[in-house]
């Protein structure tokens, strides 16, 4: 299947996308052409003269899907990192067409029967069987067995949900971009780190203002909540952040996500019921490692019991340290002061030792040693922003395993958070040397003047996390796009490589590789080094119950809808799990993009589920040596190279020799098993 590249530059798949050509017109033209060619191909493989074999039916459609993703990926990506009104309109219009198309494919009875016939009759490899098994589940979850009027209702719901997910994200982004804080009083900003002040001064100057200008992005929010001595300032930022896209606070109510959430939940429940599930959680779990909502809730509550005792002790100690009860905007501030006192260390004292370039090069060296790869920068052209860089990964065979873009700094019109996504997936059906390309995106504080980008250690951990996802995509050796890299991996196992790699940011044998003073290159003093290591379990109980609160809220919400309103569910979950209070106007759910705009609906528990897997996997390195290459090669071959081509539990057992246990996670977090 070939595309007419004269119609749009986005149809040229000869190499990397030209991101400078991503605009509304090119995107619309390209997607319309891809849809036309894809429908033609489906008709062709289903024609009477086409044999029902894997090579004649499945492989062409795998290639179609791969090329489809290649065209859509740069459009979706630029919409996330360089958002504009014109592109947003085109993106959403294209998204509606794509959703309709994939719904049409998923409900294609002839295609479903062809796949079933091939699965039962053809002589297949293990990878081919796995691909077909997952595809057949996808057909069934797409409503292939539905008859009218249910099939149309199902498609309509999918279209509406796709639009609502995009609307939810847009409301969060627009609400954040619309808010700002400007002051000409340095006294008002007492306690803020120099890096935050420098950035805020530059932002003010860019707007022809004097003083300091803050946007509502995470680096600015965290700096204020953790360091500002001015409680009123902390409260202002807290309320702005915690009421984003809601009916509370001072934000424009046009960004309120409350009706969006209510409609999303109602439609998800209806969609699940149409397919015969009791609730959306059952629907979501049909392709995950966990087998039931009850199993997940039991898992969450078990970890919560193990964590909450420690969390309560930690919070009581924090209140004692602060010599007062704590309002929500006080917790981070006093926690940072307690950490400074207890360990004589602070994030800002550490920043000079974590220049971004040192961290990147050290991370590349660590992963190079354990996985037998080489990572080096290459020239980048036609990128979406000047901050963008490009790297390539060379395997032990000397061949390129893949490439990845980095876009690491916060800016306006860029979605918050950190993520990895697929730019180009693997396709070894047509080309045996085909390699994937990834996006690695973060929102770190950018360089200021002559000072380079300096990271907190928490941001170092984030960088390692996203690079774990990146390697999971790039190092795959599976031939078929549908089960290569991160494709076909259960959502509750997808975080295994990312959370696994985080551990290497905490080891005595590796910290020296990722740190060094940005001015002198001097290594971190030994005592500072030891203090940093000691902070790993600081407030581990509080951090654990926070994640478990999100996970239990998500799972209960999608199991009990529509019996309870989402705010009531959240309130009950907080009563059960949470330790740190929130303000009465806190509207956390209204900006919870993971479950209302991302892929984590009834799946947020996957972070903790995969954290059990990742801690247990890393303990193998603790047994053999942190940088032990044979162990790294086994992890690469059993986990990273396999993608979705094998069952996730089977893959883990092949690496570890047994099923996972929670012991390593509890030990790494310093939590008492009896707490």
What would the pLDDT profile of 626-638 be if each residue is shown by its tens digit?
999 999 999 999 9
Say if residue 367 is in the same domain as residue 515: yes
Buried b (16+ CB within 10 A) or exposed e, 312-323: eebbeebeeebe
Q: Are residues 362 and 455 in the same domain?
A: yes
Decide which of 141, 166, 187 is a domain's last residue. 141
Q: Is 570 domain-assigned?
A: no
Q: How far apart are CA 592 and CA 578, in angstroms?
A: 17
Environment class of 180 (CB within 10 Å of its CB; exposed 0-12, middle 13-18, buried 19+): middle
Predicted confidence at residue 396, as pLDDT, reads: 87
Determine, yes or no, domain membership for 170: no
Q: Enter the tokens of residue 449.
A: 């003047």
CATH of residue 529's domain is 1.10.1370.40
The predicted pLDDT at position 432 comes to: 61
Can you tell me which residue has the tokens 């008859």? 147
Between 431 and 305, the more confident residue is 305
Phi, psi of 133 (to 5 degrees): -60, -45
Same-domain check for residues 52 and 189: no
State whether 130 and 215 are in the same domain.
Answer: no
The whole-angstrom separation of Cα 620 and Cα 643 is 20
Give dist(CA 2, CA 91) in Å, integer: 23
Q: Are residues 72 and 185 in the same domain?
A: no
Domain count across the chain = 3
Q: Are the beta carbons of 155 and 103 closer than 8 angstroms?
A: yes
Q: How many angstroms separate the CA atoms of 71 and 28, rounded?
A: 11
Domain containing 92 equals 9-106+108-141
Decide if 527 is inside a domain: yes
Using the predicted structure, report yes or no on whether residue 419 has a pLDDT greater than 80: yes
- Domain membership of residue 333 (yes or no) is no
Tell whether 73 and 191 lie within a shared domain: no
CA gap 79, 176 in Å, rounded:
16
Cα(452)–Cα(359) distance, integer angstroms: 12
Q: Are strands 419-424 and 389-394 parallel, antiparallel or unpaired?
A: unpaired
- pLDDT value for 675: 43
- Tell me: do 623 and 475 sit in the same domain: yes
**Alpha-carbon span 167 to 66, nearest angstrom:** 27
Nearest-angstrom CA–CA distance, 288 and 648 = 9
pLDDT tens readout for residues 454-513: 999 999 999 999 999 999 999 999 999 999 999 999 999 999 999 999 999 999 999 999
pLDDT of res. 242 = 98
**CATH number of the domain residue 47 falls in:** 1.20.1050.40
Per the CB < 8 A criterion, the answer to whether 164 and 236 are in contact is: no
617 lies in a domain?
yes
Across 273-418, the runs of DSSP E, i.e. the strands, are 374-378, 389-394, 400-409
pLDDT digits (tens, 9 = 90+) for 335-375: 999 999 999 998 888 999 999 999 999 999 999 999 999 99
The rounded percent of the chain whose pLDDT value lies above 70 is 99
- Strands 436-444 and 419-424, by their bridges, are antiparallel
Exposed/middle/buried for 226, CB within 10 Å: 0-12, 13-18, 19+? buried
Predicted confidence at residue 433, as pLDDT, reads: 64
Q: CA–CA separation, 79 vs 427, rounded Å?
A: 25
Q: Are residues 371 and 496 both part of a single domain?
A: yes
Among residues 240, 255, 270, which one ends one of the domains?
255
Identify whether 296 is part of a domain.
no
Q: What pLDDT digit, counting tens, does each position of 83-135 carry?
A: 999 999 999 999 999 999 999 999 999 999 999 999 998 789 999 999 999 99
Tell me the average pLDDT across 663-667.
Answer: 91
Strand-pair partners of 198: none
- pLDDT at residue 522 is higher than 50: yes
For residue 436, the cross-strand partners are 402
Structure token pair of residue 616: 């247990």
Q: Are residues 34 and 182 in the same domain?
A: no
Which of the residues are catalytic?
466
Please determine, for residue 278, whether its predicted confidence score (pLDDT) is greater than 60: yes
Task: Tell me which of 222, 255, 288 is where a domain ends.
Answer: 255
Q: Helix/strand/coil (H, E, C) string of 297-319?
A: HHHHHHHHHHHHHHHHHHHHHHH
Tell me if 491 is assigned to some domain: yes
* H-only helix segments in 207-289: 218-227, 231-242, 258-274, 280-285
pLDDT digits (tens, 9 = 90+) for 211-244: 999 999 999 999 999 999 999 999 999 999 999 9
Whole-angstrom Cα distance, residue 617 to residue 623?
Answer: 11
Phi, psi (rounded to 5 degrees) for 393:
-110, 125
Residues 379 and 514 in one domain: yes
H or E element, residue 462: helix 457-474
In a domain, 306, yes or no: no
Average pLDDT over the chain reads 95
Provide mean pLDDT across the span 604-627: 96
Query: Do 516 and 628 belong to one domain?
Result: yes
pLDDT per position as a tens digit, 69-92: 999 999 999 999 999 999 999 999
54 neighbors 128 (Cβ within 8 angstroms) = yes
- Kindly indicate the confidence band of residue 674, based on its pLDDT and cuts at 50, 70 and 90: very low
Task: Give the pLDDT band (50/70/90) at residue 673.
Answer: very low
* pLDDT at site 1: 81
Residues 137 and 184 in one domain: no
Judge whether 27 and 96 are in contact, CB under 8 Å: no
């Amino acid at each position: 299947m070939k595309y007419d590249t004269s119609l749009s530059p986005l149809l040229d798949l000869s190499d990397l996308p030209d991101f400078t050509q991503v605009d509304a017109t090119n995107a619309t033209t390209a997607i319309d052409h891809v849809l036309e060619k894809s429908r033609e191909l489906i008709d062709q493989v289903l024609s009477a003269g086409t044999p029902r074999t894997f090579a004649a039916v499945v492989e062409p459609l795998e290639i179609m899907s791969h090329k489809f993703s290649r065209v859509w990926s740069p459009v979706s990506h630029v919409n996330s990192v360089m958002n504009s009104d014109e592109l947003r309109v085109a993106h959403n219009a294209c998204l509606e067409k794509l959703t309709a198309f994939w719904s049409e494919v998923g409900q294609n009875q002839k295609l479903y029967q062809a796949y079933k016939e091939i699965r039962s009759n053809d002589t297949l490899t293990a990878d081919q069987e796995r691909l077909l098994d997952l595809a057949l589940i996808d057909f069934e979850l797409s409503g292939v067995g539905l008859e009218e009027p249910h099939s149309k209702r199902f498609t309509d719901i999918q279209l509406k949900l796709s639009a609502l997910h995009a609307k939810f994200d847009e409301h969060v982004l627009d609400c954040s971009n619309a808010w700002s804080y400007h002051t000409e009083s340095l006294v008002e900003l007492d306690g803020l780190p120099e890096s935050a002040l420098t950035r805020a001064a530059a932002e003010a100057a860019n707007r022809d203002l004097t003083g300091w200008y803050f946007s509502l992005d995470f680096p600015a929010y965290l700096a204020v909540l953790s360091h500002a001595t001015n409680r009123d300032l902390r409260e202002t930022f807290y309320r702005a952040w915690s009421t984003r896209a809601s009916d509370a606070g001072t934000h424009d109510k046009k960004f309120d996500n409350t009706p969006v959430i209510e409609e999303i939940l109602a439609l998800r429940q209806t969609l699940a019921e149409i397919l015969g599930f009791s609730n959306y959680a059952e629907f979501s779990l049909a392709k995950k490692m966990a087998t039931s909502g009850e199993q997940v809730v039991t898992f969450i509550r078990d970890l919560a019991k193990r964590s909450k005792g420690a969390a309560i002790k930690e919070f009581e100690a924090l209140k004692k340290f602060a010599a007062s009860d704590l309002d929500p905007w006080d917790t981070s501030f006093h926690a940072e002061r307690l950490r400074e006192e207890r360990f004589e260390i602070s994030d800002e004292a550490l920043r000079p030792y974590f220049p971004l370039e040192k961290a990147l090069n050290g991370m590349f060296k660590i992963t190079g040693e354990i996985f037998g790869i080489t990572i080096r920068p290459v020239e980048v052209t036609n990128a979406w922003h000047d901050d963008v860089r490009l790297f390539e990964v060379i395997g032990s065979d000397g061949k390129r395993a893949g490439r990845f873009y980095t876009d690491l700094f916060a800016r306006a019109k860029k979605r918050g958070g950190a993520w990895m996504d697929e730019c180009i997936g693997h396709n070894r059906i047509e080309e045996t040397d085909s390699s994937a390309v990834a996006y690695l995106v973060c929102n770190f504080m950018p360089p200021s003047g002559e000072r380079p980008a300096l990271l907190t250690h928490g941001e170092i951990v984030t960088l390692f996390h996203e690079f774990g996802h990146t390697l999971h995509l790039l190092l795959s050796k599976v031939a078929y796009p549908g089960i290569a890299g991160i494709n076909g991996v259960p959502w509750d196992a997808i975080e295994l490589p990312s959370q696994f790699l985080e551990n290497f940011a905490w080891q005595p044998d590796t910290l020296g590789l990722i740190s060094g003073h940005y001015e002198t290159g001097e290594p971190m003093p030994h005592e500072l080094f030891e203090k940093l290591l000691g902070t790993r379990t600081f407030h581990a109980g509080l951090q654990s119950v926070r994640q478990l609160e999100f996970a239990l809220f998500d799972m209960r919400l999608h199991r009990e809808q529509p019996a309870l309103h989402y705010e009531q569910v959240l309130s009950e979950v907080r009563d059960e799990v949470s330790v740190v209070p929130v303000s009465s106007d806190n509207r956390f759910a209204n900006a919870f993009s993971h479950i209302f705009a991302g892929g984590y609906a009834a799946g947020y528990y996957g972070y903790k589920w995969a954290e059990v897997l990742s801690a247990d996997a890393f303990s193998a390195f603790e047994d053999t040596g942190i940088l032990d290459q044979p162990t790294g090669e086994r992890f690469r071959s059993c986990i990273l190279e396999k993608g979705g081509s094998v069952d996730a539990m089977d893959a883990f057992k092949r690496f570890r020799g047994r099923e996972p246990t929670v012991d390593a996670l509890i030990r790494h977090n310093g939590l008492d098993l009896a707490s």
